[in-house]
Amino acid sequence: MICELCRSGDEMILKLQGECSVEYAKELQNVLIEGLEKSEALRVDLAMVTQVDTSFLQLLCAALNSSAKSGRRVSIAENFSDEFMRFARDTGYVHALGFEKDNQ
């Protein structure tokens, strides 16, 4: 997994690339925390993600839920990869991540 954290206006953008799985869970958790420490808004860009697993989806859900409770905002850019959306649909995480079932 390759992570790139950069600022865009008032928010931080976290661009992820490659395999996002349990092997990278701690790294992803750390970079999510870092992004939210630098800004009240963090957008996660998943366009270049090639593989995901349930641990990755659970981390994203946890980030979405905990950020809302703390007054910060985590969102997922809608340019996500087909692999990400297929896995989110197949595992039932579509609604937990804030997407409608018919979202492509």
Q: Is residue 102 part of a domain?
A: no
> 81: domain range?
2-91
Q: Is residue 66 part of a domain?
A: yes
Q: Is residue 100 part of a domain?
A: no
Instruction: Compute CA distances 18 → 46, 68, 73, 82, 95, whole Å.
Output: 9, 27, 24, 13, 23
pLDDT digits (tens, 9 = 90+) for 44-80: 999 999 999 999 999 999 998 888 888 899 999 988 8
Q: Is residue 98 part of a domain?
A: no
Q: Is residue 96 part of a domain?
A: no
pLDDT at 68: 80
Structural domain count of the chain: 1
pLDDT digits (tens, 9 = 90+) for 1-47: 999 999 999 999 999 999 999 999 999 999 999 999 999 999 999 99
Q: Is residue 55 part of a domain?
A: yes
Of 43, 48, 56, 37, whose CA–CA distance to 96 is shortest?
A: 56
Q: Is residue 50 part of a domain?
A: yes
